[in-house]
Amino acid sequence: MEPITRKPEWVPDSYSEGFASQVVMAQGMHDGSLVSHKATAQKISKPIRRQLLSIDDYVEGILSCKRAIIGRAITLIESNAHSHMETAQTLLRHIMPHTGKAIRIGVTGVPGVGKSTFIETFGSYLIEQGKRLAVLAIDPSSCISGGSILGDKTRMEKLSRNDKCFIRPSPSGGTLGGVARKTRESMLVCEAAGFDVIIVETVGVGQSEFTVRSMVDFFLLLMLAGAGDELQGIKRGIMELADAILINKADGDNKVKAEFARNEYERSLHYIKPISDHWTPGVFTCSAMENSGISDIWSVIESYWQKGLDSGYIIERRQAQTLNWMREMIDDHLKSLFYSHPTIENQFPKIEALVLSGNLPPSAAVKELIDLWHNHYFNHSE
């Protein structure tokens, strides 16, 4: 049987014998051509390894705001591989002099409040004002694969196509409060790349959202009108941390409810001591769908930023955040050293069994494990 020679419309005029369509058309029909196409296919199917980047490559790419390099740098930072962690720390030391100039904004709120829609509308407005925007969106992590579930680039489709915006969805990795462990370092990469505003979007509301506030300059809480007061205790805890409360979806028939909710939350704030003496939080309304109230909340953030710079509060807050971050990392590192030590790994199940059987008090078990770790760790170090 003669091989089929008709060329599909989508094949370019300048196609060669190695073009993929020829492999499909000739397969099993002409022995001579089949061998050559198999050889060609084998060459094409070989995996293409990405070129390894040096520290200088990373630094140059970040400072030039090359999005692909920024993405690879954040991937490097998020890696738990020991060699990657060392390279990431070296990279961070090189870019540190170029960080610290962006406004860091945390955005949180209950699921369904419209965080992603708000960020897309708000981000588009900032870009229209000449700003460059980075969005670090913390997705819930799958308990199976550990990967992101929501996919923020899909939910912020318009914004993700803008070349003045960089969106990075990162899995929370089970971190308390839904904040990715490396978000702080990712912010430094984005600042070094020259982005003017960095938004950290969190999974939702919970008492551990304090972690978000500990890494941003301005903490914005999105709320809904008419959502009920079943979680009023949690609302109060989050309200105490917020630098502003924004009632979203104030459009259509919901405008009256939103205004009523704004008045209610304003009255509630009178009974809450502001977290800072430099700023009194306010309550505002907006509609991300109708693009109303967006410029107002940006004016509030700009006012906060300028007052914070003039009073020195922004610098004080960032210095306190950096020290707390350092202490948290010390805690994490010591915890990792403890649980990964061979002696602890060997003895922990036995001591745990004694605790579960009631033969050993938990406090005594803790002391025994700590003593084991201390003795073996320091004897080994000597």
Residue found by looking up tokens 């008492």 in the block: 207
| pLDDT at residue 179, as a whole number | 61
**What's the average model confidence in pLDDT over 63-78?**
94
Tell me which H or E stretch contains 262: helix 255-269
Same-domain pairing of 251 and 206: yes
Same-domain pairing of 284 and 146: yes
pLDDT beyond 80 at 58 = yes
For the four alpha carbons of 341, 346, 351 and 357, in that order, the dihedral sign comes to positive
Please give the Cα distance from 295 to 65 (Å, whole number).
27
Same-domain pairing of 142 and 224: yes
Sheet holding 244-247, edge to edge: 165-171, 133-139, 197-201, 103-109, 218-223, 244-247, 282-285
Give me the DSSP letters along 192-238. Answer: HTT-SEEEEE-S---GGGHHHHTT-SEEEEEE-TT--STTHHHHHHH
| pLDDT at residue 47, as a whole number | 53
Please give the Cα distance from 23 to 34 (Å, whole number).
7
Q: Is residue 297 part of a domain?
A: yes
Confidence of residue 135 (pLDDT cuts 50, 70, 90): very high
Q: Is residue 65 part of a domain?
A: no
**What's the average model confidence in pLDDT over 27-34?**
46
Answer whether 210's CB lies under 8 Å from 177's CB: yes
Q: Is residue 26 part of a domain?
A: yes
At which of 311, 332, 353 does a domain end?
Answer: 311
Q: How big is the CA angle at 130 (ends 321 and 203), to the nearest 5 degrees? A: 45
Token reading at 290: 């109708």
At which of 260, 292, 311 does a domain end?
Answer: 311
- For residue 135, the SS3 value is strand
**What's the average model confidence in pLDDT over 52-71?**
95
Task: Report the DSSP beta bridge partners of residue 171.
Answer: 139
Q: Is residue 134 part of a domain?
A: yes
| pLDDT at residue 45, as a whole number | 52
pLDDT top residue among 78 and 154: 78
| pLDDT at residue 146, as a whole number | 47
The residues, any chain, with a CB within 8 Å of residue 198's CB and separated by 6 or more, are 102, 103, 104, 105, 133, 134, 135, 136, 187, 190, 191
Confidence of residue 354 (pLDDT cuts 50, 70, 90): very high
The CATH number assigned to the domain holding 125 equals 3.40.50.300
Indicate the residue type of 273: K
Q: Comparing C-alpha atoms, which of 116, 184, 194, 120 is closest to residue 332?
A: 184
Token reading at 249: 């979806």
Answer whether 72's CB lies under 8 Å from 167's CB: no
User: Which residues form the domain of 22?
Assistant: 1-48
pLDDT top residue among 18 and 172: 172
Same-domain pairing of 15 and 152: no
Q: How big is the CA angle at 299 (ends 185 and 198), to the nearest 5 degrees? A: 15
- Split into its structural domains, the chain has a count of 3
pLDDT beyond 50 at 283 = yes
Considering the chain, what is the average pLDDT of its residues?
81
Same-domain pairing of 13 and 135: no
Same-domain pairing of 235 and 291: yes
Give the model confidence (pLDDT) of 96-131 as tens digits: 999 999 999 999 888 788 898 999 999 999 999 999
**What's the average model confidence in pLDDT over 347-375?**
93
Please give the Cα distance from 224 to 202 (Å, whole number).
16
Q: Is residue 111 part of a domain?
A: yes
Same-domain pairing of 224 and 178: yes
pLDDT beyond 60 at 39 = no
Same-domain pairing of 305 and 351: no
Please give the Cα distance from 296 to 288 (Å, whole number).
12
Same-domain pairing of 263 and 358: no
Please give the Cα distance from 225 to 256 (Å, whole number).
9
Please give the Cα distance from 16 to 316 (Å, whole number).
65
pLDDT top residue among 373 and 295: 295
Q: Comparing C-alpha atoms, which of 117, 129, 135, 127 is closest to residue 290?
A: 117
Considering only 25-29, 75-79, 240-244, 359-363, which range has the smallest mean pLDDT?
A: 25-29
At which of 311, 327, 355 does a domain end?
Answer: 311
Q: Is residue 333 part of a domain?
A: no
Instruction: Give percent of the chain with pLDDT exceeding 70.
Output: 74
Considering only 7-16, 114-123, 133-142, which range has the smallest mean pLDDT?
A: 7-16
Answer whether 105's CB lies under 8 Å from 199's CB: yes
The pTM of this model reads 0.79
Same-domain pairing of 251 and 372: no
Same-domain pairing of 133 and 277: yes
| pLDDT at residue 130, as a whole number | 96
pLDDT beyond 70 at 249 = yes
Q: Is residue 78 part of a domain?
A: no
Same-domain pairing of 366 and 268: no
Q: Is residue 316 part of a domain?
A: no
Please give the Cα distance from 138 to 209 (Å, whole number).
12
Confidence of residue 6 (pLDDT cuts 50, 70, 90): low
